[in-house]
Structure 1
Amino acid sequence: MQGGNQTMVKEFILRGFSINVVGQSVIFTLVLVIYILTLIGNITIVRLVWSNPILQKPMYMFIANLSFVEIWYTTSTVPKIMAGFLTKNNYISFTGCFLQYFFFFSLGTTECFLLAVMGYDRYLAICHPLRYSMLMSSRKCLCLGASCWIAGFVWSVVPVSLISQLPFCQENEIDHILCDTGPLLEIACVRDFMTELASSISSSSMLLVTFSSTCISYAFIIHTIVRIPSSSGRHKAFSTCASHLTVVIMLYGCAMYMYVRPTGQHSLRYDKLLTTIYTILTPFLNPIIYSLRNKEFVKVVKKVMRH
């Protein structure tokens, strides 16, 4: 696969966005503020859930897991993205690039599995309310949460390992804001069909399986909600799912476009913009969506603030 005169790449350059100095300063400040607020919001959710008995229920335990994922998901990418606005050439070592890629892919996959499990949890709560405590016990909640983390990291091993074994020579500029599948395959010295196929199958199958699972859960949920006789009962049931649906639509809308699409030429500007949405904005909005739309959570926050 490698020619005899190839010089192997030891570091990459992340091109990021091509904007002027003033624009870079403005975006850097905005991203920094969003990153800090993201950490504060998600850390607050984790601490509140783990320290308040009222919130130690499966639904909130899954939300706390999701917030914990978001803390590390943003930390694995956003600091390096911000560094790109401060330096002309945003260098990242070969090892650092693939570590970022592994954690970005693994934590993103974990988030998708968690969203699918959260959909299943809402299905049990709404469609089988009398048996909910038995069907979703604390032990089962713990096992499902742990399974999401294990599956997320195991799922990522094969594609990351295969791409890291490709030869990279001469061209070391990644026209993206982070190390991701498509940009890395673009600058490899050779086109390895099996590696591209395995990477495509890995990401697209994970997205389709978790998204389909979530959709099936909500199909049953909607079918149950429309049969509730009172309008207040229907509104209450749907309001508990609205926040979760919002996050699902935002995340999968961007991820599906990025990873479940035919190979070929795609607009790099749109790719960078969509990556920014699900890398920076979605983790920032999650605490707001889950906390402000949940009366029980707001009640606990007010109680903590009073004391």
Structure 2
Amino acid sequence: MGVGNGTVISEFILTGFSGLDQRLQLSLCLVLLLMYLTTVMGSVAIIFLVCVDNRLQIPMYYFIGNLAFPEIWFTSSTSTKLLVILSSGRRTISVGGCFAQSSFYFALGIAEFVLLVVMSFDRYVAICQPLRYAAVMKHQLCIHLVAAVWVMGFTFLSYHLVLLSKLTFCGLSNIQHFFCDKTPLFQLSCSDVTLLWKTDAVFLLFIVLSSLCRTLASYTSIFFCILQMPAASARRKAFATCSSHLTTLAIAYGSCIALYAPSSGHVSLETNSIVALLNTVLYPFLNPFIYSLRNKAVMLALKETMARDCCQRL
């Protein structure tokens, strides 16, 4: 909480999408609500199926289930407040709530990026070194990899809370965004954040770009392995799967880099909000379909579970 000019700030006002007509706000609210509910229900269904179906208890689905869990909280950290803003117009958020929202958003985002690296490595071993897959991707290794992902996420959560605690605010309380993003908080602060801003931007981009490079390296190797497959149908199927994965990666990494590159502080509020929607709403919405619900094994497990549930009720 910042103190300045005798004023203690206890809450912020989120001004994102305030320029939209009320009807447009309600229409946007309805669309985002449907996308949010679909994301949550799809992610919950994936987690449930991975836990109860023995056929899905292999490394690939183990990682997908672990990706679905943070996605629920990642999109919830921003979408729930945005839905309240658009539906009721209540734009205030407490300082503690603002700092918590910002910290969880970044920590869960970092955890997802690292998990995408792990998943790309799993696919690389499965496609390029299938005979060694069982020996490399042992259950114990999978547990250790996921544990490392969560350790990194919670470490960044602590780091981000410490970072925000160093900011002071001098009476101004309007955040130029629809959630407590780091950039408008830095802009709102009356303390000198030049060094803090540059250091954090470099740190965040290092994590994002390093994970992006590792992920692309895995998919590049996968593409070369696919080209060597003798069957054309197998190549088409593998290319379709990888291209859909790369589409979601482009949205996630592209929007993140656009938002948090050192020069992004000069981007307009409207542009910033639209790009942020891609990162906080569209990317989590697409992931259940791209990684799971287009998969025949997952859909078969879902149909059998639903059929078994209906039989038990009858």
TM tier, smaller = over 0.9
**1:69 aligns to what?**
70
Query: What is the one-letter code of the residue matched to 1:306?
Result: A
2:297 and 2:244 map into 1 onto residues whose CA distance is 14
**2:95 aligns to what?**
94
Q: Secondary structure at the match of 1:77?
A: helix
2:4 and 2:31 map into 1 onto residues whose CA distance is 46
- Once the two structures are TM-superposed, the CA of residue 34 in structure 1 deviates from its matched residue by 1.8
Q: Secondary structure at the match of 1:297?
A: helix
**1:22 aligns to what?**
23
The share of aligned pairs that are identical, in percent, is 39
Q: Secondary structure at the match of 2:7?
A: coil
**2:266 aligns to what?**
265
**1:190 aligns to what?**
191
**1:167 aligns to what?**
168
Gapped runs of 5+ residues in structure 2?
Answer: 309-314
1:4 and 1:278 map into 2 onto residues whose CA distance is 34
**1:217 aligns to what?**
218
Cα deviation 1:47-83 (Å, max 9, x = unaligned): 0011100001111111111110111112211111111
**1:10 aligns to what?**
10
Change (3 A) 1:285 1:155: same
Q: Secondary structure at the match of 2:92?
A: strand
Change (3 A) 1:203 1:77: same
Change (3 A) 1:42 1:195: same
- Once the two structures are TM-superposed, the CA of residue 201 in structure 1 deviates from its matched residue by 1.7
Change (3 A) 1:10 1:4: closer
Cα deviation 1:105-139 (Å, max 9, x = unaligned): 10111110111111111111111100001100111
- Once the two structures are TM-superposed, the CA of residue 289 in structure 1 deviates from its matched residue by 1.8
Query: What is the one-letter code of the residue matched to 1:143?
Result: H
Instruction: State the Cα RMSD in Å.
Output: 1.8
* 1:1-307 correspondence to structure 2 within 5 Å: 5-17=5-17, 18-262=19-263, 264-307=265-308
Change (3 A) 1:3 1:300: closer
Contact 1:77–1:104 (CA under 8 A) maintained in structure 2? yes
Query: What is the one-letter code of the residue matched to 2:121?
Result: Y
Over 6 Å off, 4+ runs: none
Q: Secondary structure at the match of 1:179?
A: coil
Q: Which one is further off, 29-38 or 65-74?
A: 29-38
What TM-score comes out, normalization by structure 1 length? 0.94
- Give the aligned length: 306
Contact 1:159–1:195 (CA under 8 A) maintained in structure 2? no
Contact 1:176–1:268 (CA under 8 A) maintained in structure 2? yes
- Once the two structures are TM-superposed, the CA of residue 163 in structure 1 deviates from its matched residue by 2.7
Change (3 A) 1:6 1:29: same
- Once the two structures are TM-superposed, the CA of residue 261 in structure 1 deviates from its matched residue by 4.3
Cα deviation 1:168-190 (Å, max 9, x = unaligned): 11111001010111110010012
Q: Which one is further off, 157-166 or 175-184?
A: 157-166
Cα deviation 1:260-288 (Å, max 9, x = unaligned): 34255212111101111111121112112
Query: What is the one-letter code of the residue matched to 1:5?
Result: N
Gapped runs of 5+ residues in structure 1?
Answer: none
Cα deviation 1:199-249 (Å, max 9, x = unaligned): 102211111011011011112111211122221232343344344322212
Contact 1:9–1:172 (CA under 8 A) maintained in structure 2? yes
